[in-house]
Structure 1
Amino acid sequence: MVDKRKSPRKFDDEFKKSIVKLYENGKSQNSLAKEYGIAISSIARWVKQYSEVKFDDGTILTARQIQQLQKRNVQLEEENLILKKRLPYSRHTR
């Protein structure tokens, strides 16, 4: 018996970013899915990952970068709490 399911296609980051740019420039996810033979769910995930956020100071970050920064911030806050508990009588608590 032959398995007729397709193996998942792999797309590189540049291709994904180009699809996101097309979406940001007005193409619908449906039309992109039909034109390029990509699942709408994949396009939606890429839009979430690669859409850019521009800040007042001109900095541009992708949603993925923001998520990584948030994760790192939580990690640093946890480390900070641990350090504060280790030094209950430090000069900062007087």
Structure 2
Amino acid sequence: MTTRNYYSPEQKAAIAALHWDEKQTLSQISRENKISISAVRRWVREYSPAVNDNGEKITKKTVSELEARIAELEQDNQILREAVTLMDKYSREQIKKSNRR
């Protein structure tokens, strides 16, 4: 029976960095670390560095996480806009009722 190894995001990023920073091939990394080449390929893709506008390095995984957070916040904003519209409508109705008295 084979045991499965689990790697933290930091370990995955360090292994991916071997490809980007030390220019090792995927097969070298796979062989030396006893990790499947498909896992190494996936980690290299997920943790490949990019540079943002501030000159900071970020990974595609971080970008994906930020995009998901943005989508969540946009949904929250839409709910809040609808709530404000309903409260505004209710307030106007209450003002009309109080003016009739």
Per the TM superposition, whether the score is higher than 0.5 is yes
Structure 1 residues 74-94: Cα deviation after superposition (integer angstroms, max 9, x where no partner) = 00111111111122275xxxx
Structure 1 residues 21-54: Cα deviation after superposition (integer angstroms, max 9, x where no partner) = 1111321111211222110121122113322211
Structure 2: tracts of 5 or more residues without a match:
89-101
Aligned counterparts, 1:34-73, within 5 A:
34-73=31-70
- The CA distance in 2 between the partners of 1:34 and 1:27, in whole Å, is 11
Counterpart pick for 2:17 among 9, 16, 21: 21
SS in 2 for 1:26: coil
SS in 2 for 1:61: strand
Give 1 or 2 for the bigger CA radius of gyration.
2
Going from structure 1 to structure 2, the CA distance change for 1:28 and 1:73 (only over 3 Å counts) comes to same
Sequence identity of aligned pairs in percent? 27
Aligned counterparts, 1:80-91, within 5 A:
80-88=77-85
Moved over 6 A (4+): none
- The CA distance in 2 between the partners of 1:69 and 1:15, in whole Å, is 21
Give the AA of the match of 1:41. S
